[in-house]
Amino acid sequence: MTAPLLSVRDVTKRFGGLVAIDRLSLELERNAVLGLIGPNGSGKTTFFNVLTGLYPVDGGALEFDGRDITGLSPQAVYRAGVARTFQRSRLALPLSIFDNIMVGNHMRLHQGLWFNLVQRRRFRAQFEENVEHARELVQVFDPPLAHRLFEAVGGLPMIDRRRIEICRALISRPKLLLLDEPSAGMTRDETHRLMDDILEVKQRFRELTIIIIEHHMDVIERITDRCVVLNFGRKIAEGAYQEVAADRQVREAYLGAA
């Protein structure tokens, strides 16, 4: 059997006396889409922050693609092949679509003064290659938008901003993509369209594995292979959406059932 892409073993994160993640364990198979769900404050985004090195763990271990990444810096986790989006937009609104996407590609860019000033032909070739790569990514989401790469993102609707944020994460060619509430701030129709986009991404990039945090259960049901449910930092259920949705603990904690 193929080893899982991600193994989380008894991971704990505390903030003073608050246990935000309580001995969380899970395994994520390659090329799967995992839904991470639970009520507000259940530890979902905290888990993303621990996994990507923004927060140090207080216990347990993280293994990614056969490598122990426990305690690595965000830069090292990124270089290992983990990219993410954030619930709140991190786009630089005055900058162009292309500039915002390239922020996510710094691992692959030659950025030295000598290269930029002296090796002009190589610099131009790199620039043109990156423009084409960015255009191909945006094309997956919205073909007309792919021809507007040098427009400022501040003039774009929310759905296009979310698309650009996902493109920025994908530009580094990650093995694992973390999506933190990608539908936040969008209408129901926009959410449906963005989920179509994510399914298209999964179809195009067959080696990509995804974890998505999302509060819209119809989204989770539609695009995930498996779900993990957190409550007060603990995993209370795991399985296919229909299984966890029928679980009494899940319904009491998250779906509002008595």
What pLDDT, on a 0 to 100 scale, did the predictor assign at position 105?
A: 78
- Residue 120 placed within a domain: yes
Is residue 33 within 8 Å of 210, Cβ to Cβ? yes
Q: Supply 177's token pair.
A: 């993509």
What pLDDT is stored for residue 80 in this prediction?
Answer: 95
Specify whether the CB–CB gap between 146 and 133 falls below 8 A. Answer: no
Question: Residue for token digits 């059997």?
Answer: 1
The residue ranges of the chain whose pLDDT is under 50 are 258
- Any domain includes 1: no
Task: Please report the pLDDT score of residue 109 as a whole number.
Answer: 53
Question: Which residues span the domain enclosing 58?
Answer: 6-255
pLDDT for 129 equals: 86
Number of domains present in the structure of the chain: 1
- Helix 188-204 and helix 158-170, axial crossing angle in degrees, nearest 10: 20
Per residue in 221-233, pLDDT (tens digit) is 999 999 999 999 9
pLDDT value, residue 119: 60
> Can you state the angle between helices 120-141 and 188-204, rounded to 10 degrees?
120
Q: What is the DSSP string of 19-59?
A: EEEEEEEEEE-TT-EEEEE-STTSSHHHHHHHHTTSS--SE
Instruction: For residue 215, give the nearest of 83, 45, 25 by alpha carbon.
Output: 45
Which CATH number do you get for residue 123? 3.40.50.300
Per the CB < 8 A criterion, the answer to whether 27 and 43 are in contact is: no
Position 102 in a domain = yes
What is the pLDDT, as a whole number, of residue 89? 87
